[in-house]
Chains A and B, each alone.
Chain A
Amino acid sequence: MIPSEFEYVRPNSLDEVLALMHERPDDCRVMAGGQSLLPMLKLRIIQPTLIVDLSKILGVSSIAVTPNGIEVGAMATERAIELSGDVRQKCPMLAETASVIADPHIRNLGTIGGSLCFADPRGDLPACILALDATLTAASTTGTRTIPATEFFVGPFTTALREDELLVGISVPAKSSRTGAYLKLSKRAGDFAVVAVAADIEWDRDRVCRAARVALCAAGPVPIVVRGMTELLGGSRLDDKKIEEAARHASDSTEPFEDPLVSADYRSAMIHTMVTRALRLTRERAGVNP
């Protein structure tokens, strides 16, 4: 219940943060919303020497619509994303994902950047941004670089960021016509997922599927993009037979971990169930009649 001792700084600017991360790459632990960090500190799962509080830095928490899509600052809170009119209009699946995370108190402080960098295999936002084909922007003292979401999550609780890099933004590309769904199966609402599915479908003018992305949360050591969805679903109107194929493929191509509280075969079956439901819901939202 009580963290071990640490040093603490609360820089006023992004540059100060980056400089610190450059000077002390080994023992710098940044704190965004703190909602994943605090339990780890309290249970002493981690015992960092320095905590760098990001809450005072400006310019990294806005949500903006651009011609290319939506730009979300890494420090935007899950609550802000959930309630943002722009997100709800331009990328409702992102708002939907945010809304099923934990509870409102946690979402008031928890940030998208913090959640993505924490890279919990059961985290909701990682699967979501994979399905959205998002790009992440990382900054360091040497400049910025972009990382596709598909290359960001490299292991459980491990990202592609270097030790001196800070995630500063997430870009969700605009697609001409897309619908999606984030469906989460958890024991109680807001809990970590037993399994969750982020589905994103691009439709052409005739309401035929042009591209499909399905990402899974809690299905393995990292959030997983199910391979071959566009090949399977492309050219179809997501009829039930196609959806069944896609769901079976998703289930067959994943190997969920065994866990004392949720067995692997149940998880596998739930991947099938939830992919089916997510795709049906996506189809329904697109007003597509197969």
Chain B
Amino acid sequence: MKSVHIETTINGKPYTFDVPARLLLVDLIRDKAGLTGTHVACDTGNCGACTTIFNGVSVKSCQVLAARADGATIGTVEGLRTANGLDPIQEAFWDCDAAECGFCTSGMLMTAVAFLADNPDPSEDEIRSAFKGNLCRCTGYLNIIKAVQRAAALRRASPARSGA
């Protein structure tokens, strides 16, 4: 079959699509679901701008066929914010000036969300290793490290407010 039927959940909302089999997951998210917060910045799976949460783990959505979304649960940057406001990670990025042009930012945020879920009290080295697949050309990364440390502290202080 050159096309696929997909039933998937994105940010808690159910979606149904019939799309070409060759469609990339990032294009499903951006073009079919209209969620353009996830970005494409390379074509070899190196930059991480397309990072989303897929069945609970961080993946590069340009490196996954949309067909795999069938039966899967996906989280994107648009799903971080709640009715109560920004996720602590978003606040931490803002406080620490961790976003400049913003093109890599959603990938950084989703990486942070996935990473902190498994590593609530990370060392700086652990943070650096976790983000090596997320490239940024603007900030020089150091503010992102601080933001992740700050978000970790905020989450430890009030666990009820942790995100995706």
A9–B1 CB distance below 8 A? yes
**A24 on the B face (CB < 8 A):** no
Q: For the complex, what is the distance from the CA of A1 to the CA of B63, rounded to whole Å?
A: 11
Interface size of A as a range: 20 to 34
**B142 on the A face (CB < 8 A):** no
A103–B48 CB distance below 8 A? yes
B45–A38 CB distance below 8 A? yes
Would you list which residues of chain A between 4 and 44 have a CB under 8 Å from chain B? Answer: 4-10, 31, 34-35, 38-39, 41-43
Q: Which listed residue, A2, A55, A189, touches B68 by the CB 8 Å rule?
A: A55
Q: Which listed residue, A10, A31, A39, A108, touches B44 by the CB 8 Å rule?
A: A39
**B89 on the A face (CB < 8 A):** no
**B59 on the A face (CB < 8 A):** yes
**A59 on the B face (CB < 8 A):** no
Would you list which residues of chain A between 70 and 106 have a CB under 8 Å from chain B? Answer: 79, 102-106
- With both chains docked as a complex, state the minimum distance between the C-beta of A190 and any C-beta of chain B, in angstroms: 5
Q: For the complex, what is the distance from the CA of A109 to the CA of B114, rounded to whole Å?
A: 14
Contact A105/B59 with A8-B21, A34-B64, A38-B64 known, Cβ cut-off 8 Å: yes
- With both chains docked as a complex, state the minimum distance between the C-beta of A124 and any C-beta of chain B, in angstroms: 15
Contact A34/B65 with A105-B51, A190-B133 known, Cβ cut-off 8 Å: yes
B133–A5 CB distance below 8 A? no
B60–A106 CB distance below 8 A? yes
Q: For the complex, what is the distance from the CA of A38 to the CA of B64, rounded to whole Å?
A: 7
> Which residue of chain B has the shortest Cβ distance to A189 in the bound complex?
B132
Q: Which listed residue, A7, A34, A104, touches B63 by the CB 8 Å rule?
A: A34
